[in-house]
A and B are shown apart, each in its own frame.
Chain A
Amino acid sequence: GAVVSQHPSWVICKSGTSVKIECRSLDFQATTMFWYRQFPKQSLMLMATSNEGSKATYEQGVEKDKFLINHASLTLSTLTVTSAHPEDSSFYICSAGLAVGLLLDNQYFGPGTRLTLL
């Protein structure tokens, strides 16, 4: 149980393109989803927290107009990297929070999306 999928798993595109990444919780409802960015050999950096039906909360230094997050349903959140450039190349990982009662307990991570901009 508690499976999270991401699509696509990898994408290569030209600079200036906008790229959408989907994150789905397959067997549970996730009121809260998180988006992370990970550079090679580094830890996960939280970009934003999204709650179903409301605007995402972005971490300091993350451009909200650059990284658009939509959490339209309890099982789907999307991250759109707008007008992506080579410096946006990274490994993007989402996670979904599994609530136990009223508490947000474990986070379950998707397999990640490797984004490469040419």
Chain B
Amino acid sequence: QQQVKQSPQSLIVQKGGIPIINCAYENTAFDYFPWYQQFPGKGPALLIAIRPDVSEKKEGRFTISFNKSAKQFSLHIMDSQPGDSATYFCAAKNFGNEKLTFGTGTRLTIIP
């Protein structure tokens, strides 16, 4: 019940396209859903996060869509650029629990 399932495992999108990465969870106690971006040989960097009281959150070119009833959330990257090529991890945690549960990661490649 602590799992977060992430798909796809890898994704190739042309520059300017909108890659979409999906995550699904089962634990209804989760109340915080961050996305992390990781470049090779570097630690993950917090990209954007959402709580279940809103259905969408935008920060720059990054948007999280959240569907509480379906227990799914997704990351959209608008006007994608080659510099966005990285591995993206979704995660989830619930109030009172310090630990993050990570998805398996999506390797995104943006081709010029």
What residues make up the interface of A, taking CB atoms closer than 8 Å to B? 4, 6, 32, 34, 41-44, 46, 49, 91, 93, 95, 97, 103-112, 114
Q: 4 closest Cβ contacts across the A-B interface?
A: A109-B43, A112-B43, A111-B43, A109-B44
What residues make up the interface of B, taking CB atoms closer than 8 Å to A? 32, 34, 36, 41-46, 49, 89, 95, 98-100, 102-105, 107
B20 to chain A, nearest CB (A): 19
> Is A109 a contact partner of B45 (Cβ separation < 8 A)?
yes
Interface centre among B41, B49, B107 (most CB of A within 10 A): B41
B93 to chain A, nearest CB (A): 8
> Is B43 a contact partner of A110 (Cβ separation < 8 A)?
yes
Majority-rule SS of A interface residues: strand
5 pairs, A vs B, C-beta closer than 8 Å: A6-B43, A32-B98, A41-B105, A42-B104, A107-B46
B75 to chain A, nearest CB (A): 16
Residue of A nearest to B89 (CB): A43
Q: Tell me, in angstroms, the Cα distance from A108 to B46 when the chains sit together.
A: 7
Contact of A42 among B95, B98, B105 (CB under 8 A): B105
